Structure 1
Amino acid sequence: MEKEMINTYVKNPDNDNFVMILDETLCHQYHHFLLSISNQFESKKWKMKNFRNFIITNLKECALTEQERQSLAGKEGEILDKAISKLKIDYKSGEIGEIFLHGIMREYYNALPIVPKIFHKQNRNMEVFGFDSVHLTIENQECHLWLGESKLYDNLNGAITNVIKSIKDNLSDEIILNEARIIANPHELDNLAEHHNIQTSTLTSFKQIINGNIKLDRLKGILHVPISIIYDCDHTKSIEEITDDYKTMIKNFHKKKGNKISEEIKKLSNEIAYIDRIKFHIILFPVPDKKEIVSKINQIFESYKNAS
């Protein structure tokens, strides 16, 4: 039991994309975790190219099916053209936040390469409701469901207020089951098992839960809610490189804000049954200027669309 409590579920803490600042448990009793990461700096500047490439790389997976990507294997330009042409870009930056969370799930938590919710939303004209992302991971030969919230805000406090409201609204039994069913196509799950050396039995109980054969209360024992917040940070805007002083400052700041989110989630215990069984992962990513970052990435999207 103690070993499980210590596990933050991060599989790749030394990921090369970003700098790990903090990965720890905030609350053992309620299974609340904090992942703090920062972009790299280069030539005394926040490395925009690094973040941009992370978004573009993961956009390809968000907008295209595995079959579409395989048919264009080796043609990176065509893959990106097709991905951007299919994605209805949200110029309020919501899509960028969702793509970022998808990349974090895939690269830090080893989420399975299923077609993400953003694909279904864009390609089936789904209304925007429920969680921002749906993923699956395998933990000790057991299938776990991840329903994520992604925010990209000028102000961290505003993001926290909004994310708590979203959690309160979305953690109903009906929405949880609806989100699970988005990716719970039996054929797709069986293909995952076949191509990724997953024991078929690993998915059996998950299939039973989403098919209504097992009480939903059991699902909350394998349910995770990653909360990804990209936010404007004055500390990050004022530095030219990542120093130990910066890391210490961000660690303290993120622990304070992470604990605030944790406390707000605990307050929902009277409204959401068995919320203490659900594992919450707070993922904080400071940026120097959110509006500039969104503008530059959208310019790239526009240039590809105009060229096609």
Structure 2
Amino acid sequence: MSDKIWKFDILIDDSFVNFNPNSVEITPDTNDFLISLINGFEEGHWMKKNFQNFIYNNIAETALKAEERMKIVDDSYSCLVESAKHLRLIDRDGVDEEVKKRDKGRGSEIAEIVLYGIMKHHFNAIPAIPKIYYKQNDNMNAFGDDSVHIVLTKDSDFQIWLGEAKFYNDLEDKRFNEPLSSIAQMLNSAIIRKELGILTGLNELDVVLRDIPEMLKKVKNILKNFTSIDEIKKRLHVPILLLHECEITNGATTLNKEYKDKIVTYHYDRATSYFKKQIIKFKGYVDYDKINFHLILFPVPNKSEIVEWFISRAKTLREDAQ
């Protein structure tokens, strides 16, 4: 497997079973995985343009329906303009600073876009529901997952990936409560059935799998309501992206060994804490060990600067659409 995702370096690609300090009590741990991902530096500065381009290149994956993406696939600017029409973050921008501080979702769309990009470039995933587009519908926004993908396997089968994406000011233990609560909701059997029912009811799969008709038929047959939820869980993967502000990254000026070692140590520590909490929270959950969880940690130097850039750029694109 590549040591990069797009132009980002992979520092860690590991299983919790290899770094769990207490595998006797904190178990099962063979179904938990960690990816640590970092952006580069240039002339003493974090490469924000690199990060911004990743947003530009992948926003359509989650903000546009498959048919729309197909129609303007060769027109990157139109992709950006059309995608900007569906962003929720812009609509919340008019509130005062105190409300912004309390707004837990501030920046979440950025994390969702990054997750869709990672799914595309690292896991060769096919976007099954463009969540930003469909979250305009309040009924869709009620479900716990931030991304829905299908991954085709070498044995002519498929996996279901239901993801969670957050953008935080730090990675303190308290931050883990929110994604864990969302995942608990997402893994409720009734919610899984509703999500998969929506998936089979939309036209998305027909478009993205139109060149593989046998696989399309197989996916739809298995995802229908009569399939046992036990069979679904065997195919289920949960990627959890925690995009986070990081003092180590903010204080760095170059992609040297010292910086990488600090991030590796920090991310192993944070992942250990996260997986402990997750395993405890899901104790007693039927077939927990059948579901694979992929924690993805991505540090940035300053969250607010990224959010303000995103809002400003998206506003400009919306104006261009008028």
Q: TM-score, normalised by structure 2?
A: 0.83
Matches within 5 A, 1:58-73: 58-73=58-73
Residue 234 of structure 1, aligned match among 244, 247, 253? 247
Assess if the C-alpha contact under 8 Å between 2:63 and 2:131 holds in 1: no
Match of residue 268 from structure 2: 255
Partner of 1:27: 17
1:126-162 deviation line (CA, Å, top 9, x unaligned): 3343111111101232211111111101121232222
- Per the alignment, residue 176 of structure 1 pairs with 192
**CA deviations over 1:165-222 (Å, ceiling 9, x no partner):** 2222321101112222332348654554442xx4725862x43442132311121111
Deviations 1:63-102 (A, max 9, x none): 2223323333433222221221233335511211111111
Q: State the secondary structure of the residue aligned to 1:60.
A: helix
Aligned to 1:102: 116
Alignment correspondent of 1:130: 144
Aligned mates of 1:224, 1:284 — CA distance in 2: 17
Structure 1 position 290, deviation (Å): 0.6
Contact 1:111–1:137 (CA under 8 A) maintained in structure 2: yes
How does 1:13-162 map onto structure 2 within 5 Å? 13-27=3-17, 29-89=29-89, 91=93, 92-122=106-136, 126-140=140-154, 141-157=156-172, 158-162=174-178
- Provide the alpha-carbon RMSD of the alignment: 2.3
8 Å Cα contact 1:193-1:200 kept in structure 2: no
Structure 1 78/201 Cα, relative in aligned 2: closer, same or farther at 3 Å? closer
Residue identity over aligned pairs, in percent, reads 32
Determine if contact 1:209/1:216 at 8 Å carries over to the other structure: no
2:310 matches 1:293: no
1:306 is matched with which residue? Answer: 319
* Closer/same/farther in 2, CA of residues 273 and 40 from structure 1, 3 Å limit: same
CA distance in 2, matches of 1:15, 1:41: 16
The residue type equivalent to 1:136 in the other structure is: I
| Unmatched 5+ stretches in structure 1 | 1-10
TM-score by length of 1: 0.87
Distance 1:12 1:190, change over 3 A: farther
Q: 1:98 touches 1:150 (CA, 8 Å); kept in 2?
A: yes
Displacement of 1:251 in angstroms is: 1.1
Distance 1:203 1:242 in 2: 47
Determine the C-alpha separation between the residues in 1 that align with 2:301 and 2:215.
Answer: 46
1:272 aligns to what SS in structure 2?
A: coil
Per-residue CA deviations over 1:10-59 (Å, capped at 9, x if unaligned) read x6543332111111111375311001001121111111111111112211
> Mean alpha-carbon deviation: is it higher for 15-24 or for 220-229?
15-24
Which residue is equivalent to 1:275? 288
Letter in 1 for 2:179: V
Structure 2, unaligned stretches of length 5 or more?
19-28, 94-105
SS at match of 2:136: helix
